[in-house]
Chains A and B, each alone.
Chain A
Amino acid sequence: MPEIRVTPLGAGQDVGRSCILVSIAGKNVMLDCGMHMGFNDDRRFPDFSYITRNGRLTDFLDCVIISHFHLDHCGALPYFSEMVGYDGPIYMTHPTQAICPILLEDYRKIAVDKKGEANFFTSQMIKDCMKKVVAVHLHQTVQVDDELEIKAYYAGHVLGAAMFQIKVGSESVVYTGDYNMTPDRHLGAAWIDKCRPNLLITESTYATTIRDSKRCRERDFLKKVHEAVERGGKVLIPVFALGRAQELCILLETFWERMNLKAPIYFSTGLTEKANHYYKLFITWTNQKIRKTFVQRNMFEFKHIKAFDRAFADNPGPMVIMPGYCVQGTVGHKILSGQRKLEMEGRQVLEVKMQVEYMSFSAHADAKGIMQLVGQAEPESVLLVHGEAKKMEFLKQKIEQEFRVNCYMPANGETVTLPTSPSIPVGISLGLLKREMAQGLLPDAKKPRLLHGTLIMKDSNFRLVSSEQALKELGLAEHQLRFTCRVHLHDPRKEQETAMRVYSHLKSVLKDHCVQHLPDGSVTVESILIQAAAHSEDPGTKVLLVSWTYQDEELGSYLTSLLKKGLPQASS
């Protein structure tokens, strides 16, 4: 029995370290290869030993697909390809390929420079890894090999983020990665066609959240920033998620322009600046508004926002806005959880006097968005990843109720196995096709049509041929099978007269058919034979014996129902 197997090595009832193994029609694909922000040791990467025990990685895996450049989706990639030893193809979109090394370099910097870790992947390894990447365009069907094909769809979320359809024969899986169903200031909304995959693997970060209006959040954010600046204060916005930095830059830039504000805005050079270069380059990936205004000016060429220089550094002002999540083990986490005293190096204790605001600007689909995508793609089943177990449970029920499909939420290491119906190709004989064409109906892919024939299995192949040809090929004699039906008619006349009345009636109704009255008194319409007989008990009733072959089944049924309605009264 063919089946699709899915095993999350990361992101199973968990956020971070996305890595999902999918086995579809004998092909093995790894979806994302991320790291976990919360760990500094081996646990930060998925445990690949569960794959290596199947033999050489490059032999086992047909390809790796990276959905977008965030480190929880690609942070383990150089480790996997250059240190664990995967030497096969890696697929991602062009912007992801361009921006990925920037984030990986930054990750390396933090690990090696800040935390002093040895045995981490090197810059050369990042480069060698990126050279194994095959970049894909949106909606381009890419043949990984003769049987396996993949196709990327726009996912919003961040520049270059894509959902991937993985297809082998008639079986397919769609993996969403992270996506956003509502357009933001610089990106559009995720979209997928009604591809009806066997399985949709979707992220479920906001499985239970219906997000308030983005406008409100933005207004709130701008108000807070504006107030602080008006008071003569300074606002520090540590935006660590690439993509969000660009979103906030556009938001602030537009606001500054509208309000004609003069207070300077700086952004730290480095990551954002480097990425801005690619945001300018891949303008086609942004939303319509940005593309439209591009003719006049590139939205990422900021007027008010200037690169930060160390010379500007002084004590931060009274407010810090954290536009995202911070893991335990960081100062950000401490500040967000409301700790007012921070112990710094050398037992020095800093008092947190500033106002702290947490505002979520992360671009994930909320519960409504996830349901919307399920509705769009119309999958046969759904599998939830990249979320918390409790929230997933809620969404799972909702999906099962609303779409009447199975929904799964495996934990890391758990395998979900889905049986699939095999698609069996059947060849149709030319004769049969010609016969169909003779009926005047041209084949139309959008209008499925019934086709009668005999299915023959020979040499492991299926063929649909006409029954005559089947008999001939198989050397079989034909057996006639007739359907019979009795129709009771109230008619006191003699049998011959009743038969005559039936003949006249049918002749008038069935103008296109050959209706005959035979010398023995029976009536025929094509292969249908009608005989009238007297009722043994009631002389006022005649019994019409109708019989037909299966070829004329439709006409036979029609005639029977017609006769059951009775005969018209004779005009004479």
Chain B
Amino acid sequence: MDPECSQLLPALCAVLADPRQPVADDTCLEKLLDWFKTITKAGSSLLLLQENPCLVELLCHVLKPQDLSSRVLSFSLRLAGVFAAQEDCFQYLQQGELLPRLFGEPGPLGGAAWTAPSVRSGWIQGLRSLAQHPSALHFLADCGAVDTIFSLQGDSSLFVASAAGQLLVHILGLSMQGLAEGHPSLQAGDWPVCAQKIVGHIEESLHSTAVPQITQALNVLTTTFGHCHDPWTQVLWVRLSPLVGSLLEKDPVPAAHSLVDLLLSVARSPGLSSSSCGLWETLAQTLNHLSPTQAGPLALGILKLQDCPQVLRAQAFVILLQPLACVLKATGQDPGPSDVLDSATGDSLTVDALLSSKAACVGLLCRTLAHLELLQPLPQRPCPWPQEPLLGAAVTLLQLCRGSASPASDVGRHLCALLLGCVRVQRAALDFLGTLSQETGPWKGRVGSFFMSVSGPQELVTEVFAVLLEYLRSPDSSPTVLKKAFQATFRWLLSSPKTPGCCDLEPHALLVLRELLPVLQKRLCSPCWEVRDSGLEFLTQMTRHWGGQAGFRHALLASEVPKLTEQLLRDPESYVRASAVTVMGQLSSQGLHVTPVSPEHPGGQQKSLLVELLHILSTDSEGFPRRAVMQVFTQWLRDHHADVAGDTEQFMARVLQVASQDLDWEVRAQGLELALVFLEQTLGQFHSHCPYAVTPPVAAPAGPLAQALQPLCRVRLFEFAFRALFDCDRPVAQKSCDLLLFLRAKTASSSGSLQESRSGPDVASVEAALQRWQAGDQGQPLGDLEPEVVLAVLRSVDLEGLRGALAEGSDHMEKSPQSLLQDMLATVGVLGENEADCY
């Protein structure tokens, strides 16, 4: 601890111990505790306490009967725990019997303060920090803390209850750590006292009829098996698995959610799953006993396991598929002679669950779709994967939600009534449909021989696009549904087959695209900005992928979409304007934006996109469109876009000038990004860009260096970068610092041969300007700089030092421990006046 803090500490401890002094707020105490944790991590707690006796005094003082705030009491308990985590310090505190008084019966535990959840939480967290060594275990056993922790597992505060469970896991692990290596004894009598007590409590809880108690026991076991794979956990599981198994005999199965978590945690642990306690049988049994809603997560968990018996996997997959199989059956679709789907259809429990209420139906379907969506991309997903029936189910669900399906069966009609207009199922089904496009490639005719769908794969794909178009067209589709429909459509278009050597869209996809563009056109005119934006994002994705393809280009140019997009550059919503800028930039890069001839001025052209974007950059009131313009310009410069390549210097000078005045730091930072690209292009490739690159920086030849720097000087890149060096926004300054350091490294070897010229502002005046800027003065422009002056200034400015300073957050002074102590002390007295106010 530094001397300044050490000096402030006694006064602060006195304030904390004084019940008449209100403490600033919880956050100060939390930060104070963070600081003590850092100190004790780095050094001896004992020494800290000996050098600062006020800390022990504080801990003693809080025990006195007084009206102390629960915050301070909670803080003190946690602080004591932090100190006692080191065994010598623990002994030191034990000498004064301080710990039993803090954590035992005589302490807050028995007092009125115990009713405050923060005190109970502090007590648990204190013990959690303290329980690090054998002495602590004895202490816990002696002071009867374990019994209190048991009772706190059922605390009214979620935070306390959860922390109590975690603490039990920690104590169990700690007490078993001391056991001899090898196979621990099955006899409970051989286990340490604490462990015996905890395991006894778990057993008792598992025997209980109270669901909360069973849940607590299961949660403790789940965390234990999830974190610790020592041999003793196997002994524990062997001992407890019959009890866990007996829970399945009850109807309904108590604490099903926690039971699923525990079984999966055991199954994931290599040591436990291989032990001979019939885990797989228990899992199979559990799958059968749980309701369809509860069984879903277990089935998914089983299918995600790396090693698991095939029979169990098959059973789990059947369970997972059941709701969708029911949907297919109810709508008169034959899922095919697949073993999996066939066995999945007959479950009446699932049908009951689906039809019991709208909420149950929606919940079960959404969960099933989400589970399958998670499973689909995994390598361990079941094989064969019933791609076609799943596609059919997703399409059917979407049709049911729209009311466009007309099932003949009663169940089907009931489902239709339940799902009509259900946005939740629509969203989940669209997400799932999008996922199904990946890799399975039904376009490619890779149809598993297991499925003989009524409709062929191509028909199914046609159906997929039909339903997607139906959603995109429908006036009833909500903005979130539309966004997902756009995303799914893009994914399906992306999965279209590519002829080798040509990555154009497949003819069928092109047909879809032709139908899609008028829909997109309509959506770009939506009164809802969310929809317009999603439409533009979709167009961006499409242009990025197929902007170079003839079919796409033809279809797009034949539509009104590019024109509408251009109009959206003046949209009232800034998000939409930004998206429009991005699309327009891309369309222009791909040659898909042709500046049309103005009807009013047949002779001339309308202003070019470059001018339009520059106008947005200089006048738009919102940051997003201006940032988007800078990104487009950077990309254009990289791609040598025709509008830029014509007169790059003029373009650069203009953009940097506008960007330097921008109030949005991200626009200025983007300006530096643009400057870097220009720098690279002017000086050649920057090999030193990556600090780990093997190739050493290639220095530009000395002679042409000044010449090479000339264009940079002409576009006033250096003035922009030097000003940015002292920008009030840190990332801008950092970026500029990096850019200039870069340039210096690149020019280092050749700069010696340059003669400094005196034609422009000299080095001294530039340095003086830099100092003024650093002091916050805006000042006049520098004027034309000569390369030699730039190089000299680059050498004289302490860029490394600046980079170090910039690495610190702007609030690092206010965040320091000394500042915290000062603030806490300063608040005393004025707090009553200002009170805790808020916004």
In the complex the two chains form, what is the Cα distance from A130 to B573 in whole Å? 13
B813 at the interface (CB under 8 A from A): yes
What is the number of residues of chain A that contact chain B, defined by CB distance less than 8 Å?
A: 84
Q: Does B730 contact A (CB under 8 A)?
A: yes
A44 to B627, CA, bound (A): 28
Segment of B312-320, B359-367, B698-706 in the binding face: B359-367
With contacts A55-B297, A362-B839 taken as known, whether A345 is within 8 angstroms of B809 at the C-beta atoms is no
Contact B162 A338 (CB under 8 A): no
Question: Which of B26, B359, B423, B813 contacts A343, CB < 8 Å?
Answer: B813
Q: Which of A111-119, A427-435, A441-449, A492-500 contacts B (4 or more CB under 8 A)?
A: A111-119
Point out the residues of chain A lying under 8 angstroms from B297, CB to CB.
55
Residues of A with C-beta under 8 A to B423: 89
In contact, B367 and A105 (Cβ under 8 angstroms) = no
Q: Known interface pairs A116-B807, A339-B822, A343-B819. Does A127 touch B159 (Cβ–Cβ under 8 Å)?
A: no
Pick the contact of B839: A59, A72, A331 (CB < 8 A): A72
Decide: A43 near B30, CB < 8 A? Known: A113-B731, A329-B815: yes
A364 in the interface (beta carbon within 8 A): yes
Nearest residue (CB) in A for B669 is A113
Name the B residues within 8 Å of A70 (CB-CB). 839
- Contact with A329, one of B257, B362, B663, B814 (Cβ below 8 angstroms): B814
Q: Is B204 an interface residue (CB 8 A)?
A: no
Are the CB atoms of A114 and B730 closer together than 8 Å? Answer: yes
For residue B647, give the distance in angstroms from its CB to the closest CB of chain A: 31
Known: A131-B483, A413-B160. A330 touches B811 (CB 8 A): yes
**What residues of A have a CB within 8 angstroms of the CB of B822 in the complex?**
334, 339
Indicate if the CB atoms of A337 and B162 lie closer than 8 Å: no
Is the C-beta of B759 less than 8 angstroms from some C-beta in chain A? no
Q: Within the complex, what minimum Cβ distance (angstroms) separates B72 from chain A? A: 13
| Interface window among A292-300, A320-328, A563-571 | A320-328
Knowing A40-B815, A55-B297, A131-B479 are in contact, say whether A112-B534 is a contact too (CB < 8 A). no
User: B100 on the interface (CB 8 Å rule)?
Assistant: no
Interface string of A319-356 (1 = CB under 8 A from B): 00000110111110110111100011110000000000
Q: Are A325 and B837 in contact (CB under 8 A)?
A: yes
Instruction: Annotate A66-95 by CB proximity to B: 1 below 8 A, 0 otherwise.
Output: 000011100000000000000111000000
A414 touches B367 (CB 8 A): no
Whether, in the assembled complex, B427 has its beta carbon less than 8 Å from a beta carbon of chain A, the answer is: yes
Q: Is the interface of A mostly helix, strand, loop or mixed?
A: loop
Contact pick for B370, options A59, A360, A364, CB 8 Å = A59
| Chain B binding surface SS class | helix
Tell me the chain A residues, 134-159 only, with Cβ under 8 Å from chain B.
Answer: 134, 145-147
Instruction: Give residues of chain B (557-591) contacting chain A, Cβ–Cβ below 8 Å.
Output: 575
| B162 contact from A38, A50, A333, Cβ within 8 A | A50
Given A7-B158, A123-B624, A413-B117, are A58 and B366 also a contact pair (CB < 8 Å)? Answer: yes
Taking a contact as CB atoms closer than 8 A, the residue among A39, A130, A244, A331 that contacts B27 in the complex is A39
User: B367, A325: Cβ atoms under 8 Å?
Assistant: no
A176 to chain B, nearest CB (A): 14
Q: A388-428 CB contact bits vs B (8 Å, 1 = yes)?
A: 11000000000000000000000111110000000000000
Quick one: closest A residue to B728, CB to CB? A310
CB within 8 Å for A345 and B805 given contacts A38-B27, A147-B359: yes
A59, A147, A310, A328 — which one has the most chain B CB atoms within 10 A of its CB? A328
- Which residues of the other chain, A, contact B824 by a CB distance below 8 angstroms? 328
Do A325 and B839 touch (CB < 8 A)? yes
Shortest Cβ distance from B568 into chain A, in angstroms?
Answer: 15
Q: Cβ of A14: which chain B residues have Cβ within 8 Å of it? A: 26
Contacts of A131 in B (CB 8 A): 479-480, 483, 530, 533-534
Of B341-349, B392-400, B826-834, the one with at least 4 CB within 8 A of chain A? B826-834
Q: Which B residues, 463 to 495, have Cβ-Cβ distances below 8 Å to chain A? A: 478-480, 483
CB distance from B212 to the nearest CB of A (A): 12
How many A-B pairs fall under 8 Å by CB?
189
When chains A and B are docked, how far (Å) is the Cα of A270 from the Cα of B533? 24
Among B28, B812, B836, the residue within 8 A (CB) of A15 is: B836
Contact B28–A328 (Cβ < 8 Å): yes
Q: Does B200 contact A (CB under 8 A)?
A: no
- Does B424 count as interface, using CB distance less than 8 angstroms? yes
- Cβ of A259 within 8 Å of any chain B Cβ, yes or no, is no
Instruction: Note all chain A residues with C-beta closer than 8 A to B541.
Output: none
B838 is an interface residue with CB less than 8 A from chain A: yes
Residue of B at shortest CB range from A26? Answer: B359
Q: Interface on B for A, CB 8 Å cutoff?
A: 24-28, 30-31, 70, 116-118, 156-160, 162, 257, 297, 358-359, 362-363, 366-367, 370, 422-424, 427, 478-480, 483, 530, 533-534, 575, 621-624, 627, 663, 665-666, 729-731, 776, 778, 805, 807-815, 819-820, 822-824, 826-827, 830, 833-839
Task: Given A89-B480, A330-B811, output 20 extra A-B contacts at Cβ < 8 Å.
Answer: A47-B159, A55-B367, A56-B367, A70-B839, A130-B530, A145-B424, A205-B838, A310-B778, A324-B839, A328-B24, A328-B27, A329-B811, A329-B814, A329-B815, A334-B819, A334-B826, A337-B826, A343-B819, A389-B70, A414-B158
A-B contact pairs, 30 of them (CB 8 A): A7-B158, A14-B26, A16-B838, A56-B370, A59-B366, A59-B370, A71-B839, A89-B423, A114-B729, A116-B809, A123-B666, A131-B480, A145-B424, A146-B358, A205-B838, A324-B839, A328-B820, A328-B823, A333-B823, A344-B813, A345-B812, A360-B834, A362-B839, A364-B838, A413-B117, A413-B157, A413-B159, A413-B160, A414-B158, A415-B157
A residues with a Cβ closer than 8 A to B are 7, 14-16, 26, 36, 38-40, 43, 47, 50, 54-56, 58-59, 70-72, 87-89, 101, 105, 109, 112-117, 123, 127, 130-132, 134, 145-147, 178, 205, 209, 240-241, 243-244, 269-270, 274, 277, 310-311, 313, 324-325, 327-331, 333-334, 336-339, 343-346, 358, 360, 362, 364, 386, 388-389, 411-415
